[in-house]
A and B are shown apart, each in its own frame.
Chain A
Amino acid sequence: MLEARNIHYAYVADQPVLQGVSLTVPGKTVVYLLGHNGCGKTTLLEILGGVRAPQRGEVRLDGQNVHHLPSHQRAQRVGLVPQLHIPVFAYTVRELVLMGRTPYLKLLGTPGRADYEIADEAIEQVGLSHLRHRAYTDLSGGERQLAMIARGLAQQTDVLLLDEPTAHLDPRNQRLVLETVVALAEQSVSFVISSHNPNSALLYAQQVIVMKGGRVVADGSPASVLTEDTLSHAYDMPVEVIYNADRVARAVMPRRTNGANSHEHHVRVF
Chain B
Amino acid sequence: MIRTLSQRVAVRLPFSVQQRQLLLYWLVLLIPLPLAVYTIGLGRYPIAPGEVIDALVRFVVDPPEAGAQPDLVYNVVTRIRLPRITAALLIGANLAVTGVAFQGIFRNPLVDSNILGVTSGAGFGAALALLLSAGAGIVQLSAFGFGLLAVLLAYSISRLYYSAPLLVLTLVGILIGSFFGSLTSVLKYIADPLDSLPAITYWLLGGLTDVTLADVPLLAIISLAGMVFMWAMRWRLNVLSLGDHEALALGLNPARLKLLIILFSTLMTSVAVSVGGVIGWVGLVIPHAARTLVGPDHQRLIPATMAMGASFLLVIDTLSRTLWATEVPLGVFTGLVGVPLLLVILRINKTGWK
Contacts and interface: CB of A to CB of B under 8 A. Distances in A.
A135 B241 contact: no
B143 to A, nearest CB: 32
Contacts of B297: 91-92, 95
A89 B291 contact: yes
4 closest Cβ pairs, A-B complex: A75-B251, A103-B251, A72-B251, A89-B296
Interface in B1-17: 1-4, 7, 16-17
A111 interface: yes
5 contacts: A73-B251, A76-B251, A87-B1, A99-B238, A133-B18
A103 B253 CA distance: 11
Given A88-B109, A89-B296, A90-B296, A51 B248 contact: yes
B250 interface: yes
B14 to A, nearest CB: 16
Given A72-B251, A109-B235, 17 more contacts: A51-B249, A71-B251, A71-B252, A75-B251, A76-B251, A79-B249, A89-B241, A89-B296, A90-B1, A90-B4, A102-B251, A102-B252, A108-B232, A133-B16, A133-B18, A134-B7, A138-B7
A95 B238 contact: yes
Interface string A94-120: 010001101101001111000000000
Interface size band for B:
20 to 34
Contacts of B234: 110
A102 B242 CA distance: 13
A190 interface: no
Given A71-B252, A75-B249, A137-B1, A99 B242 contact: yes
Contacts of A71: 248, 251-253
Contact of B235 (A75, A79, A111): A111
A155 interface: yes
A75 B243 CA distance: 16
B239 to A, nearest CB: 5
B296 A51 contact: no
A108 to B, nearest CB: 5
A49 interface: yes
A92 B299 CA distance: 13
Contacts of B241: 88-89
A80 interface: yes
Nearest to A91: B296
A72 B7 CA distance: 33
Interface string B250-277: 1111000000000000000000000000
A215 interface: no
A41 interface: no
Contact of A102 (B3, B108, B109, B239): B239
Interface in B187-236: 232, 234-235
Nearest to A49: B249
